[in-house]
Structure 1
Amino acid sequence: MPITLEKPAAKIVGMGCLPHDQGVAFRVWAPNAERVALVGDFNHWDESATMMEAEDNGHWYANVAEAEIGDEYRYLIFNGDMKLSRIDPRCREVTNSVGNSVVHDPHFDWEGDKFKMYPFNELVIYEMHVGTFCCDTKDKPGTFESASRKFEYLRSLGINCIQLMPAAEFAGDYSWGYNPAHIYAVESAYGGPHGLKQMVKLAHQHGLAVILDVVYNHFGPSDLHLWQFDGWSENNKGGIYFYNDWRSSTPWGDSRPDYGRQEVRSFIHDNAVMWLEDFHMDGLRYDMTLYMRSVNGNDDTSIPEGWSLAQWINSDLHARFPGKLIIAEDMRNNNWLTKPKEWGGAGFNAQWDAEFVHPIRDVVEQVEDQYRSMFKVHNALCHKFNYSAFERVIYSESHDEVANGKSRVPSEIDEKNPHSWYAQKRTVLASAMVLTAPGIPMLFQGQEFLRTGWFDDTRPIDWHQEKEWRGIVRLYRDLIHLRLNKTGITAGLTGQRVEVHHLNDNDKVVAFRRWKEGGPGDDVIVVANFATNEHTDYRIGLPRGGTWKLRFNSDSTHYSDDFDNTKVVDLVAEEHPYDGQPYSATLQLASYGILVFSEDKPTDK
């Protein structure tokens, strides 16, 4: 028996599955379909029971009073001799990537969540892969719930922002996430939409912002129900959601979305809005925007409509969700990405900085000291986009930098013994540059306890290493607390300004000043030795007289029993001009050591 369709006074607005008080409405875009049937638990999967109504612009609609939250369903699309069974492109939940759409429950108790994103200059980001971050068993990936158990650990470390690798439904249960099969559905193996919301709520309660990685440069290619969705295609390409000519080609498959088609633009735009509106995300990180704005990474194959799509999404997100952080991964040193739309820019707040990570890794991974270039260190410290340090995200490890033929920094330094003295020392040196340079610093999961090897989505974090290397974890904690000015004496590390006033390429030493407004409690002096040689009575310039107190010494045995515990004392500035500064002092400098000094704030009298 055909099911009775309820026809309320006005149709429900929106796309996909739309639960409401009198049932569930459904709307799907299939412009080449001759007819569309809705099948599911609510009509016993009878393809003759619920025929959808054709609307303008290729949309099909049905409102089903009998449909309930939790029901599984699909669309049957008829085109000529083809009968295509499709998962809803906009469904928020699926049984799995090749299973069925699920009528999601839009209700969730956020318990009054009003979390406010931190100022960008006060962020320390921790990139996390849910499937490997915290696993309960060896035969299943980690979940949102298991990852949440480490929030207290992250806060004690000083982290205040998590960046999740993609959590949209992908093929299978194990993946980096950069092969989205259903961009609106939350990965079922991780815990689905309810699990993600619960994780975000708990993160906010722990003072952790959450940024989500999204993939709009391609879809799939596996388990991709969008492919030839309504039966139409040209050149045997992907059909209505994709380019059907040479522009479809990407490094990940022949599945670049058609950024010039309004329905596809809205599909991607609405997805970005969904993450911030419905899931309370504090920002987004777009995967490899280079392949949204060009076909093959070259200017002669640019895709103007991909650029304009990013402009539209970003400007709308900034207007609707002020203060959220929108990041691009582009890796081409392009200032226009972080310029505002009204200037012709793409409107991102920040972008991953290849001009930092690659030179810093190169310098610490060189086998011999003589090949470490302090000029590369200088340029990495001073690089900015559009004159703003906080338009860049800086790091020494990320999911990309520790895979694809590359390993974690300790393993790159000493493949046979990645926990050797050399590997510990130079890994710390790279991370200290991340946490003392101007920019938004980011760590990759496990970096803080010398995780080795390369990133693999089937190789979970071994949390026994966190206890084994608790001293190195303490080192990261101390640096992060200085970076965030927790004690009010290193405000300069949250500032824009940097001056590399000492560069000694012969001895491989740099010293730089960081400041926000300047003055005691603000100015910070960082001294770094990129060589094995120790130095006694090494002179560096200082901007003022007085006592510059030692805030951090990476060579302390508090951090590792393998370190040398070189004795360093506070600096008493001499009226001895040096390095272009009016004052100077001498210090002890350990092999591959880094020191941080600042002045106490003057006390009120």
Structure 2
Amino acid sequence: MAFDLLQRRNEKFVLWIPGAAQTHAPLLVLGTFAAGSPAVFNPVCTVSLCNSDLLDLWELDPNSITPPLQNNTIYYYYFEITDTSSSNLGTFLVTDPLAYTVDYRVTNSRDEAVQPAAVIRFRDGKLWPCDIDGNEPPPVLIPTQDAIPDNNKVVIYELPTSWARYKTVGGVQVEAGTFTDVLALFDSTTVGDRFSDIPSIAHEAILADLGTNVLELLPAADAKPLDQWGYATAHYFTPDYDLGSSSDLTKLVEFIHGMNISFFTDVVMAFGHDPYGYIAFDQFHLDPNAEASNPDSYQCHSEGMRNGWGGRLWRYIQNTNGYDPQSGKTVNIHPAWSFHQGHLHRWMSDFGVGGLRLDCVNNIGNYDFLRTYKEAAWSLYRSRYPSASDAKFLVIGEELSVPLDLITGGTLNALWNEPFQGRLRAVILGQNVGDNFEWTVRKMANCTLDSDYPFTDGAQVVNYITSHDTEGTGFGGYQKERLYNFLDDNGVIDVERRAKLAFACFLTAVGIPMIFAGEEFCDQMDLPMSSKQSDPVNYERKAEDWRTRVFNFVASLVNLRKNCPALGGNDTQFIHTDKSRGGKIMAWQRGGQDQAPVVIVANFSDEDTPGDQYFVENWPQRNRNDWREVTQNRNVPSEWVGNEPLMHWEAKVYTYWREI
């Protein structure tokens, strides 16, 4: 699918400034780069851009520059603009908002007002996107449709690249991993980059062993901060400078595609730290305090104002007659809508994005935009295949208030299921949330039973035990931290047993399971619980014996969740509640009438079942001799089917389904 503005930038330097009357023509400041300490930007020329025949579009043919540009040369450039927006009147040296590569070495600064240079190669009379080393990565090869998991068989791995290792002398060393470090989690022959000295990264393939079939990176677009997780997006069209190049990301995505693993990315569109804050603020951004009467200043599902969290809120209720970046025609557009659809086109076309997670959708504040963005994403997905399946692509919204009308109204495909986390964490402590204990378990196991949030299908729901929102009391705290810390804070001594119970419930529940990186081996927080932006993933811990046992337990259930048909639908029957033990021993069955069932038997109490046997009533097809217990990978003798004892805080998962 064509996107006019992105095609034009192959032929010319292009700057789109919608609806802003320019008193001075923008200037192209072009130079070359010399590495060193300090690095040097060598100016080549400063040339005025020309107003094209299309309103709002400024262009410059690189072949018109005098003296002529050198063929096959990498150039660094800025735009110098005079911003007429009410908030920022003045002249600024800014990064190209459409830059595919930026380089911070030119300024050696991450200050909000200091812009990195954009990077481009001039070759054969055209402009070619390239990495800072000059490599020109081709678009990611798109996998066959058969290689993409169906939405109801997806298991997401949510990965920040903020990782930790212990220093030799005390303390914790925290650093951002790279795309190559992520690749090392899948490929045992890749030793990693910054974490090549950690055996579990250099010599293992943790995520290949775990078996999740979606990698969801926290925002992979460029953000300036070094010690955060990418939610301060500054350059929407370029992979994060600190994580690696476009070539590195392409290599990672193509490798996991070869493993039938999809690539999802996180996108932040409530606020930005982008160059348009200096180029055309009033067209793209707003200050809600200065526009209290503007509906665009307020969140959806709330009377509260939108929050920029240190960035500039995107302005979505803004009509401008001018150049349409997608069609190339002069029409009435919403500038911010077009900008975000532009980088959507870039990421899906060049990096093979197979699904999206949209951050804080209430704070975006505009359902019409969200619906249009989702539809654009689906159009790009469908353009890949002659007959695209509707069951193999998702646009997911994150909003902890769970605004279900985003699903029922067709605005998004799925939502984070925040109530699941609260219910699961309660039941593994033997507690209930709102309802009695039995109904807390029922609604945890099957989200379609939740009358407050009546989802109709598991593919509409993303469940999680833990997410990257692990911060302290300001965001809920205490119940939000990593599972290990949650259990420790609640006085649980046997973390291994309780963690396995949590994962047995989680990976067999109706809905799409999302594992936050490190939870599969019960990682714990290395830094004080104050911010999701700083707590890293410590893969060194996976080598500890008990954590390895948890990891293997989780991996066995991930494999079942991906492949067993009974876990792909919504059918759930509760077959046993032991009233004699306060309802704290329950069993439920997953799967439809014609499917091999999965039966979960869970003991949410401090007491083992008495004797050598524990009879579970209503067990399906009890007389079969091919039942097995999944987490221990053992066959169950026919006389023990539905009759095995349970230890305290233990869950067992049974089925007679076998992989073909």
| Range class of TM-score, shorter chain | 0.7 to 0.9
Aligned partners of 2:156 and 2:515 also within 8 Å: yes
- The answer as to 2:118 corresponding to 1:101 is yes
Q: Which amino acid aligns with 1:32?
A: A
Residues 491 and 345 of structure 1: CA distance in aligned 2, closer, same or farther (over 3 Å): closer
Unaligned residue ranges in structure 1 (runs of 5+): 1-11, 231-237, 294-305, 559-566, 574-583
Secondary structure of 1:535's match?
Answer: coil
The percentage of counterpart residues that share the same residue type is 21
- Give, in whole Å, the separation in 1 of the partners of 2:458 and 2:393: 17
**Relative to structure 2, which stretch is displaced further, 112-121 or 63-72?**
63-72
- What is the Cα deviation at residue 139 of structure 1? 6.6
If asked which structure has higher relative contact order (CA below 8 Å, sep 6+), I would say: 2
* 1:49 matched residue in structure 2: 47
User: Among 60, 78, 84, which residue is 2:92 paired with?
Assistant: 84
Residues 413 and 389 of structure 1: CA distance in aligned 2, closer, same or farther (over 3 Å): same
- What is the Cα deviation at residue 49 of structure 1? 2.8
- What is the Cα deviation at residue 572 of structure 1? 4.6
1:403-552 matches, cutoff 5 A: 404=475, 405=477, 406-415=480-489, 420-421=493-494, 423-453=495-525, 457-468=533-544, 469-485=547-563, 490-504=564-578, 506-519=582-595, 522-536=596-610, 537-547=614-624, 551-552=628-629
- Give, in whole Å, the separation in 2 of the partners of 1:426 and 1:133: 25
Aligned partners of 1:229 and 1:239 also within 8 Å: no
Aligned partners of 1:16 and 1:26 also within 8 Å: no
- Give, in whole Å, the separation in 1 of the partners of 2:272 and 2:219: 12
Aligned partners of 1:499 and 1:512 also within 8 Å: yes
Aligned partners of 2:414 and 2:460 also within 8 Å: yes
- The answer as to 2:444 corresponding to 1:387 is no
User: Among 49, 56, 60, which residue is 2:58 paired with?
Assistant: 60
- Give, in whole Å, the separation in 2 of the partners of 1:585 and 1:105: 61
- The answer as to 2:189 corresponding to 1:146 is no
- Give, in whole Å, the separation in 2 of the partners of 1:196 and 1:432: 33
Give CA deviations for 1:219-266 in whole Å, capped at 9, x if unaligned.
13xxx4322424xxxxxxx43211352344533146221112312110
Aligned partners of 1:509 and 1:528 also within 8 Å: yes
Secondary structure of 1:169's match?
Answer: strand
- What is the Cα deviation at residue 166 of structure 1? 0.5
Superposition RMSD on alpha carbons, in Å?
3.4
- Give, in whole Å, the separation in 2 of the partners of 1:416 and 1:362: 11
1:186-201 matches, cutoff 5 A: 186-201=239-254
Aligned partners of 2:81 and 2:92 also within 8 Å: yes
Aligned partners of 1:133 and 1:445 also within 8 Å: no
Residues 417 and 196 of structure 1: CA distance in aligned 2, closer, same or farther (over 3 Å): farther
- What is the Cα deviation at residue 162 of structure 1? 0.7
**Relative to structure 2, which stretch is displaced further, 148-157 or 53-62?**
53-62
- The answer as to 2:39 corresponding to 1:40 is no
- The answer as to 2:75 corresponding to 1:71 is yes
- Give, in whole Å, the separation in 2 of the partners of 1:462 and 1:602: 33
User: Among 255, 279, 284, which residue is 1:241 paired with?
Assistant: 284
Q: Which amino acid aligns with 1:105?
A: C
Residues 532 and 256 of structure 1: CA distance in aligned 2, closer, same or farther (over 3 Å): same
Q: Which amino acid aligns with 2:601?
A: V
Secondary structure of 2:48's match?
Answer: coil
Give CA deviations for 1:291-344 in whole Å, capped at 9, x if unaligned.
123xxxxxxxxxxxx2111111111222331332211112333333224xxxx4
**TM-score (norm. length: structure 1):** 0.80
- The answer as to 2:17 corresponding to 1:29 is yes
Unaligned residue ranges in structure 2 (runs of 5+): 33-40, 64-68, 105-109, 121-128, 187-204, 298-304, 319-333, 383-391, 449-453
Residues 414 and 33 of structure 1: CA distance in aligned 2, closer, same or farther (over 3 Å): same
User: Among 379, 403, 410, which residue is 1:345 paired with?
Assistant: 410
User: Among 279, 284, 287, which residue is 2:359 paired with?
Assistant: 287
- Give, in whole Å, the separation in 2 of the partners of 1:515 and 1:531: 26
- Give, in whole Å, the separation in 1 of the partners of 2:658 and 2:180: 43
Residues 281 and 48 of structure 1: CA distance in aligned 2, closer, same or farther (over 3 Å): closer
Aligned partners of 2:162 and 2:535 also within 8 Å: no
Give CA deviations for 1:3-23 in whole Å, capped at 9, x if unaligned.
xxxxxxxxx941598234xxx
- What is the Cα deviation at residue 529 of structure 1? 1.0
- What is the Cα deviation at residue 447 of structure 1? 0.7
- The answer as to 2:332 corresponding to 1:328 is no
**TM-score (norm. length: structure 2):** 0.73
